Amino acid sequence: MLSRSWRHLARRYSQATTFRTNENSPAQHSEKQEGLFYTMKPELCKQLFSHGGFPKSFMQQTKTFTETAVMVRQPALDLISCIKASDLNQPAIRYVLYGEKGSGKSLTLAHVLHYAHEDGYLIVHVPWVSEWLRRVPRHKEMSNSQTNEGFVDLPLDAAAWLIHFKSQNQTLLKSENLKVSKEYVWSKREKTEAGSPLHTLVEHGINRVKYACDVVDVLIDEIKMLSSSKQCKTFVAIDGFNSFFYPLTRLSTPTKKTVKPDEVTLTTSFLKLTHNDWTNGVIVVTADQLAVPDDHQESFLPRYLLYKKGFDHLDPFVPIEVGRYNEKEFQSCVGYYRDRLWLRGPPEVETELKFTSACNPYRFMEQCAPL
């Protein structure tokens, strides 16, 4: 047993230089670390991504590998350097990540999210928009909105998101400088007074699920105001953003009327957030083929996936393509998988896998699984 662990240790150290980097802070990542894996701390992962944020297959992989290692890739580096270089006093800049299925958009987003967390941003992160609009589990709860006529609320989803928001911004919410600007009256007895800290608002949404959607709406307004007034800087990350613009959702009202995305209160809230009428913020969204049904997956380009409406909504934005692995990234990934015993066999296997997976990260991972 001991000898075995020694062997593992020896192997890890012998290959450490080829595919791993000890620089675990995304802010310090540069071209030098490109293609190398860095490890996220488990506590951090739990804080940032326990309610979603990593793709499911990646979650399984982290469980198998007993560590969360993310590759430092060019799009994330570009994005981080852009964010560093941008002037936060200007209206928020929108970045759109796009790329083929399985090329690592969500993981790039996670990498950038880690950076934002480290840099002290207030994080507004939607792990997967389709979770709200396209996934209909048995316990999905829908109700007609009390405040907006003709709109649909998703109270459970909104409450779950508030919990996610709370856990991601634990430290920032504790600080006292985030205050609600005006009084909100929810019912005869319940109200949130002006000047009370932001986390009471969040708590209220979590405790009174009925008002969760309204709380989200208000919260977003507050966040926009707070960051415009330099109280905090805000990082908005929305994965699968194009789902907001697909003409239909899979939701239907009790009267069997199909619901359009525009008729969901959460949609309106988050579309408000992605307008650039506020400052001191960064907005990163992804346009993903997997967020829409099969009949609208012919191209991965943002114009096609976002439709004209979404494109005009985001315009102007900075498109960032997340591509397949290049030679260096592929070799480093092979090294990592070999280290984790995810890939075994003779070196000829690699050439073949490179062909069959066409250097697509997700396909590569899938195809290594049985090897």
Partner 1 sequence: MMYQNCMKMSSVIIKQFLPHTKSVCARLRSPVVCNVFNYSTKVTTTSNEDVLNNLTDWETLSKKKKISKAMKAYLERAQAHDEFMHKQQFEYNIGKRHLANMMGEDPETFTQKDVDRAIEYLFPSGIYDPAARPLMKPPEEVFPARKAAEFDEAGRPHHFLFYTGKPSYFKLMYDAAENIQQLYNFQDKVIRKKATPDPNGKLNLGATVWLTKDQLENVLVEAITDLEYDNFKLVMERLVSLPYAYRIKDFIDKYRKPLASQKFALEIPKPSYDAEGRAFITTYECLRKKARGDVTIRAPGTGKITINGKDLTYFDDIQSREQVMFPLIFTGMQDRVDVECNIEGGGPSGQSGAIRWGIAWSLRSFVDADMLERMQVAGLLTRDFRRRERKKPGQPGARKKPTWKRR
Contact residues: partner 1, CB under 8 A:
100, 348, 351-352, 355-356, 358, 360, 367
Question: Is the Cβ of residue 89 or residue 351 nearer to partner 1 in the bound state?
Answer: 351
Task: Write down the least CB distance from residue 354 to partner 1, Å.
Answer: 9
Note the residue count of the chain: 371
Question: Cα–Cα distances in Å, from 158 out to 186, 226, 254?
Answer: 16, 21, 19
Q: b/e per residue, 141-157, with b = 16+ CB within 10 A?
A: ebeebeeeeebbbbbbb
Question: Is the Cβ of residue 49 or residue 300 nearer to partner 1 in the bound state?
Answer: 300
Task: Write down the least CB distance from residue 45 to partner 1, Å.
Answer: 32
Distance CA 106, CA 19 (A): 21
Question: Is the Cβ of residue 169 or residue 289 nearer to partner 1 in the bound state?
Answer: 289
Q: Which residues pair with 326 in a beta bridge?
A: none
Distance CA 293, CA 188 (A): 43
Contacting residues for 337 by C-beta, under 8 A, at least 6 apart: 343, 365, 368
Question: Is the Cβ of residue 21 or residue 360 nearer to partner 1 in the bound state?
Answer: 360
Task: Write down the least CB distance from residue 298 to partner 1, Å.
Answer: 13
SS3 130: helix
CB 130 within 8 A of CB 291: yes
Task: Write down the least CB distance from residue 358 to partner 1, Å.
Answer: 5
Task: Write down the least CB distance from residue 176 to partner 1, Å.
Answer: 53
Task: Write down the least CB distance from residue 357 to partner 1, Å.
Answer: 8
Question: Cα–Cα distances in Å, from 59 out to 2, 22, 55?
Answer: 29, 22, 6
Task: Write down the least CB distance from residue 355 to partner 1, Å.
Answer: 4
Question: Is the Cβ of residue 275 or residue 354 nearer to partner 1 in the bound state?
Answer: 354
SS3 152: strand
Question: Cα–Cα distances in Å, from 60 out to 56, 100, 113?
Answer: 6, 21, 20
Question: Is the Cβ of residue 210 or residue 354 nearer to partner 1 in the bound state?
Answer: 354
Question: Is the Cβ of residue 149 or residue 348 nearer to partner 1 in the bound state?
Answer: 348
